[in-house]
């Protein structure tokens, strides 16, 4: 599995539109599993107290570790580049259906692969 930096693309693209991913472990996992060039890390702006930020980052690290994914840099949020006409809600729905169908037993490796297949298909 490539390090998280390889999955996160800096800069802008003229194709598609960038949408924020949920500010949680799921959003970080989606960013990590997205095909190269379709996800990026951006500086996170937190209105939360430092203790809340530390708790959030600990939760994200734990969630990613449970899914066999390296920790992401601290202080970042994630965005996903979607093709024109595609909304994140539809992508998230497809991800959830794939996870429930292929990893209903909670197997993190099966969940990762189900998500990766959806992301490759939708973002290609």
**Model pLDDT for residues 79-104, shown as the tens digit of each residue:** 999 999 999 999 999 999 999 999 98
Find all residues with CB under 8 Å of 60, minimum gap 6, and list them: 24, 25, 28, 71, 72
Answer yes or no: are the C-beta atoms of 77 and 40 closer than 8 Å. Answer: no
Name the CA dihedral angle for 39, 41, 42, 48, rounded to a multiple of 10 degrees: 120
Cβ atoms < 10 Å from Cβ of 81: 20
Quick check: 5 pLDDT over 50? no
**Model pLDDT for residues 33-83, shown as the tens digit of each residue:** 999 999 999 998 766 666 677 888 888 999 999 999 998 888 888 999 999
Helix (H/G/I), strand (E/B), else coil: 100: helix
């Amino acid at each position: 599995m490539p390090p998280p930096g390889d999955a996160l693309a800096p800069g802008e693209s003229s194709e598609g539109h960038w949408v924020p991913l949920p500010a949680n472990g799921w959003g970080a996992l989606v960013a990590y599993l997205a095909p190269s060039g379709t996800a990026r890390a951006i500086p996170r702006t937190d209105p939360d107290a430092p203790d809340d930020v530390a708790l959030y980052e600990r939760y994200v690290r734990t969630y990613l570790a449970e899914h066999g994914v390296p920790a992401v840099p601290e202080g970042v949020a994630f965005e996903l580049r979607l093709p024109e006409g595609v909304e994140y809600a539809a992508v998230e729905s497809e991800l959830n259906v794939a996870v429930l169908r292929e990893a209903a037993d909670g197997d993190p490796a099966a969940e990762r692969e189900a998500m990766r297949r959806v992301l490759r298909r939708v973002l290609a």
